[in-house]
Amino acid sequence: MKQDIKTKKSLHIPVLPKEVISFLNIKPDGVYIDGTCGLGGHSKLISENLSEDGVLIAIDLDQSAIKESQLNLKNEISNIFFENNSYSNLPEILTKLSINSVDGILLDLGLSSLQLDSLDRGFSYLTNSNLDMRFNQNSHINAEKLINNISEKDLADIIYKYGEERKSRKIAKRICQLRPLKNVQDLVWAIKKTTPPRFRNKTLSRVFQAIRIAVNDELEKLSEFLDIFTNYLKVGGRIVIISFHSIEDRMVKRCFKKNSLSGILKIITKKPQTPSDIEIEFNNRSRSAKLRCAEKIYED
């Protein structure tokens, strides 16, 4: 049976909104992709800059996000297509829509308010719930299955690689000693038993991030996308990617540099754009955001 999604009332505030619209350099009659539409905040901003001839493709792997986005954007432009899919499947999505190329692509790689505020999906260590952490609720592997069935070494590797957590082996050992873990608080307790109070919240964030990335194959999907997106971007079209931790940002930076050296892309942001102090005060979840933009200048 499909799980009902219970959430607290979420305030949906898109990250770096002015920067996103500025860097996308939107053509009113262009075709644009929001590859991680979430609740539709960035999609709404993009649609407001499109004419009746413009097209917006809103993609999200999370079924609940797509439903909310459809509701939030129902009064926007008529040429908007919602796709419950991963942005890494860009070729498949565009083929389905009979679209060969687009004028701009946006990826916001952060969690949406819908996910962070969920009372039963386990994305946050602050709320006790099921150990789920899946974007795609039809996926067979959730956080509980991963944590309780993986080897101690592999778990430590995940925590170190995806969370950049130095105490990964110690944490993995304690988790395995306390298995089976059934809910968020079981995982929080295991982490607390191995970490000093002073830096505990950062460690909790890193471990939850690492497990979520592993459950959803996030870095693999990003890597797949970075390998192919230039094939579907028009010359003069722009790619904007907002990342929230150093692993993703390094991947984007290297991809842009590689395509710049080969003459396919021009890097627009020499250094990543970050939120202003005012934005961070208004939306604390934006504090670690980094935006990078590049423009296609040659047909590869």
pLDDT digits (tens, 9 = 90+) for 8-54: 344 468 999 999 999 999 999 999 999 999 999 999 999 999 999 99
- Which tens digits make up the pLDDT trace of 87-126? 999 999 999 999 999 999 999 999 887 888 888 899 999 9
Structure-block tokens of residue 246:
């150093």
The predicted pLDDT at position 27 comes to 98
Q: Which residues contact 270 (CB under 8 A, 6 or more apart)?
A: none
User: b or e along 192-221 (b: 16 or more beta carbons within 10 Å of the residue's beta carbon)?
Assistant: bebbeeeeeeebbbbbbbbbbbbbbbbeeb
Asked if 209 and 164 count as a contact pair (C-beta separation under 8 A), the reply is: no
292: left (phi over 0), alpha (psi -120 to 50) or beta: beta
The predicted pLDDT at position 198 comes to 87
The predicted pLDDT at position 3 comes to 39
| Helix, strand, coil content of the chain in percent (nearest 5) | 45, 15, 40
Q: Please name each of the domains of the chain with its CATH number.
A: 17-114+221-296 (3.40.50.150), 125-218 (1.10.150.170)
The 10 Å Cβ neighbour count of residue 166 is 12
The predicted pLDDT at position 75 comes to 80
Mean pLDDT of 139-146: 97
Residue labelled with tokens 């297509």? 81
